[in-house]
Structure 1
Amino acid sequence: MKLDDVKSLIREIPDFPRKGIGFKDITPVLKDKDAFSYSVNMLADALKGRNVDLIAGPEARGFLFGAPLAYKMGIGFIPVRKPGKLPAETIKYEYELEYGMDSLEIHKDAIKKGKRVVIVDDLLATGGTIFAAAKLIEELGGIVDCILFLTELTFLDGRKKLDGYDIISLIKF
């Protein structure tokens, strides 16, 4: 298997979640055991040589790759969630979307100062969600080692929003 094989499984759903958006659907990758395993292995390979303590993944698709990646690497996983979903005390970061406001939360005790964290998500689009996750990690004293994506929509220039962070994406559209 190669990354091009994984890329060929990603389907585009027109007009989802709203008219004019071409949604990149990774569920065919997830249901294909070889493609999913290969994807997680390639994400792990991208982190070789890095000294990281934790993987953080934003809700919900960041969980799908972040948790198995953390397991493979033998390190912990931190969920970054929508408001009201985490049971213990949290901190919140609000950010602007192209169509309104949103926010993310993380447990206040999720990261000890100085811990190196990799943020993992399925897709880099505009960068807003990942930027919010990075700010939460930094507010807790964590260091964002890098931000890792399976896919990237290069035409949306999400890297601009994440200027100053080390960004790795495996598949580009």
Structure 2
Amino acid sequence: MPGDVWLDEVKSGLRSAFTWHGDRTDEHFYADVTGWWRRPELLGSLGPALAQLFADQQPTVVLGPESRGCLLGPLVALHFDVGFVEVHKDRVVSSDSDAWLRRTTPPDYRDRHLSLGFRKHLVGGGDRVLFVDDWIETGGQAHGAHLLTQDAGATWLGAAIVVDALSSNQVRRHLNVRSLLHIREL
């Protein structure tokens, strides 16, 4: 099946398995993406579809934040035949003697400042990093991961995202965000 037709089918599947809950004026209004995980053909195509957004690059590692980035990231990593590193949020390191890289994010979609981190030895100076997540609204978590990538001495390739809800083109360009869908398509 030609790439563009296949990608159009993936996007159509994402739209049909997506639901908004509540009224747009309600503070509890939210996007429900759980239908994406229930459809095996859609779930199986998400890794290759997100990887296709960066087909012109060759990452050596994929980063994904807890929780949905940890579902999607490994699917993309498998497509590129590279490893995956989980970006932990607000992880308390109690008995872990490993060195960690940590950064505090700018405000995220819930206006929280999160502490992001991963074990220092997992990303190094020769790595080419691709960040993967399901949704980007403020870019706070992607920005934090970008700073962690710089702290590790690695190269940031960009962010492969299912839904781009950014209002800032500047953030989109700075983080090199590429997405399957824009929020207006939902």
> How far apart in 2 are the matches of 1:160 and 1:38?
29
Q: What residue identity is the alignment partner of 2:15?
A: K
In structure 1, what is the equivalent of residue 11 of structure 2? 3
Contact 2:60 2:128 in 1 (8 A): yes
- 2:104 matches 1:94: yes
In structure 1, what is the equivalent of residue 53 of structure 2? 46
Q: Specify every segment of 5 or more residues in structure 1 that has no aligned partner in the other structure, as ranges.
A: none
In structure 2, what is the equivalent of residue 132 of structure 1? 144
Q: Give the C-alpha shift of residue 116 in structure 1.
A: 0.5
Contact 1:44 1:72 in 2 (8 A): yes
Structure-2 change in CA distance of 1:159 and 1:21 (3 Å): farther
Q: Number of residues paired by the alignment?
A: 168
Q: What residue identity is the alignment partner of 2:71?
A: L
- 2:168 matches 1:168: no
Q: What residue identity is the alignment partner of 1:118?
A: L
SS at match of 2:125: coil
In structure 1, what is the equivalent of residue 71 of structure 2? 64
SS at match of 1:2: helix
Contact 1:131 1:162 in 2 (8 A): no
Indicate the RMSD between aligned Cα atoms, in angstroms.
2.0
Q: What residue identity is the alignment partner of 1:35?
A: L
> Bigger CA drift: 81-90 or 3-12?
81-90
Contact 1:145 1:166 in 2 (8 A): yes
Describe the superposition over 1:106-154 as per-residue Cα deviations: whole angstroms up to 9, x where unpaired.
111121103111000001111111100111111110111111101112x
Contact 1:52 1:115 in 2 (8 A): yes
- 2:122 matches 1:110: yes
Q: Specify every segment of 5 or more residues in structure 2 that has no aligned partner in the other structure, as ranges.
A: 1-8
> How far apart in 2 are the matches of 1:170 and 1:130?
16
Structure-2 change in CA distance of 1:14 and 1:110 (3 Å): farther
SS at match of 1:112: coil
Describe the superposition over 1:81-107 as per-residue Cα deviations: whole angstroms up to 9, x where unpaired.
013267432121112326342211111
User: Identity percentage over the alignment?
Assistant: 21
- TM value normalised by structure 2: 0.81
- TM value normalised by structure 1: 0.86
Q: Which one of the candidate residues 144, 149, 172 is aligned to 2:156?
A: 144
Structure-2 change in CA distance of 1:73 and 1:60 (3 Å): same
Runs (4+) of structure 1 moved beyond 4 Å?
none
Q: Which one of the candidate residues 69, 73, 77 is aligned to 2:80?
A: 73
Q: What residue identity is the alignment partner of 2:60?
A: D
The structure carrying a bigger strand percent of its residues is: 1
